[in-house]
Structure 1
């Protein structure tokens, strides 16, 4: 099995970090754009899509800055992360997504994130 590698995607977003963080870190926010149904208990999120389920544990977070999840089925060093940054030049809010994928799958995974982030932006009124 080939080793997955970390890749990063950046999306400029027109909304406050406070509002964006809610969509990235709460079950109700994630359910708006990331999964069909989301529940959380003791830092473990259960995600449902079209009848399939997956769980991810919050391994790091800083309010209004970032949240990092670890899929229960993934190797220990892998994670996915939503980070909120401010552009030094334009002062614009930037959503940074970090995830792992096999090299040949990064393009497809990036397109999937693009699709989901478009749904997030729709919910945010962007």
Structure 2
């Protein structure tokens, strides 16, 4: 039963979409900003933080555009939630944005958004983007 709330946040990023894609789609790229370390075996990604680790299944990815994961804990609970990281380029201005789609319990949405803001702030530092 899904009782989590879907939310979407957008972050302008000054980086090329190609470079950005490396940081959202590869274990080495993700370990630069998303978690302390990332290992992958096929479609299974293991994200490691300090003394905890979470596993996520790669649901889909489109080269240069987006990547979508589902936490295994959510899958075991039969939740259809996921988190997706998309690169969006404005047709006219060519401005690049990172779109995050995620789910959180109703009382944790703001906290989840803040966590993403911190993560993306780390990504911007790695990229040298303001």
- TM-score bracket for this pair, using the shorter chain length: over 0.9
Q: What is the total number of aligned residue pairs between the two structures?
A: 126
Which residues in structure 2 correspond to 1:91-106 (within 5 Å)? 91-106=94-109
TM-score by length of 1: 0.95
Distance of 1:122 and 1:82 partners within structure 2: 18
Which residues in structure 2 correspond to 1:1-126 (within 5 Å)? 3-74=3-74, 75-126=78-129
Uncovered stretches (5+) of structure 1, i.e. residues with no partner: none
What is the deviation of 1:2?
7.7
Distance of 2:15 and 2:49 partners within structure 1: 27
Distance of 2:109 and 2:91 partners within structure 1: 28
User: Per-residue CA shift, 1:99-121, capped at 9, x if unaligned?
Assistant: 00012211111011101100000
User: Per-residue CA shift, 1:26-50, capped at 9, x if unaligned?
Assistant: 0000000001111000111101101
Structure 1 runs (4+) greater than 6 angstroms displaced: none
What is the deviation of 1:91?
1.6
Distance of 1:92 and 1:82 partners within structure 2: 17
Uncovered stretches (5+) of structure 2, i.e. residues with no partner: none
